[in-house]
Amino acid sequence: MTASASAATLLRTAAELAAHAPDRDPAPSEAPATRAERAVVMTMGALHEGHASLIQTARAVVGPAGQVVVTVFVNPLQFGESADLDRYPRTLDADLAVAGAAGADVVFAPSVDEVYPGGEPQVRISAGPMGERLEGASRPGHFDGMLTVVAKLLHLTRPDVAFFGQKDAQQLALIRRMVRDLNFPVEIVGVETAREPDGLALSSRNRFLDPHERHTALALSRALFAARDRLAAQQALHARAQAAGATESRAAGLTRLGESRLAADAQAVARARPDGGPAAVRAAARAILDDAAAEQPPLALDYLALVDPADFTEIPDDRTAGDAILAVAARVGTTRLIDNIPLTFGAPA
């Protein structure tokens, strides 16, 4: 498929989208995945395999008879500095090719004037307290701008279901909250983060990394995986303790017999917590990030946070069960990157 052919067959205006919107089945009892007729994948362009995964998932949900709409819009309200907005890559011809190959039926790529006629909107959606944490603290106003454009694009595209990547976990949580709080008639689906073979999360910003910077950037995913592995190991030890009835007295007995290695293992099993310990999870990730801070070029950590996925508040060290998100943001050179991984405390090994 050539770029010109893609443009001719995929690009649509807002009026054309509205004219060809599928008829909705309003039955609330029917599962969204079985009644979805139009899906939307919202992007700011510079499409990569992560976006392709979203589009492919959308196609699988709506089936061959459904319609998959991809939006391409670099939203100025999400950028704190004009330099960042100007730097963001615009690659519409390539985006059309990626979208078409992944299964999109329509690409909606409006101009700024079309989305914001008359200039920046005076009325915007507020992200509330969750929007002031982590990414919101680092980028004031970012989430207000994001939710405002997502709301407008939902109105313009009128989907049954919308797909967003879990890599932007805080964004996904806020969109779900907006849809719930403001009664948008759409299902929001999160799609697992797509990664390079070496673990680096796919991002449009990765193209700005030189080879040395990219090597340093791998610390983000390695830190998250180290934390996940620490949690799994602690939970496996706890399972062994429950199965064997391990106690400190058994460890002491092995020490008296001169079995120091067995005693150390028995003591670790006996002291294993069922949740692995939030503090241990944070420490495992931070050790990797601290090492990366000494690399050349160095990794400059913005935040490492273990948060509740419902509101992105920090999880206390005494948490023994439940879901969490370990999120990290850092700058390598002039490029800022984010990543995260879901964790479950108290889960069986």
Q: 20, 48, 51, 212: which one is catalytic? A: 51
How far is it, in rounded angstroms, from Cα 72 to Cα 110? 7
Q: Beta partners for 336?
A: 331
How far is it, in rounded angstroms, from Cα 106 to Cα 323? 36
Q: Is 51 a catalytic residue?
A: yes
Q: What angle do CA 50, 95, 164 make, to 5 degrees?
A: 35
Residue type (1 letter), 111: S
Q: How many CB atoms lie within 10 A of CB 339?
A: 23
**Taking a C-beta distance cutoff of 8 angstroms, is the pair 91, 63 a contact?**
no
| Residue 123: CA count within 13 A, CB half-sphere | 2
**DSSP letter at 24?**
P
How far is it, in rounded angstroms, from Cα 116 to Cα 122? 10
- Which residues are part of the catalytic machinery? 51
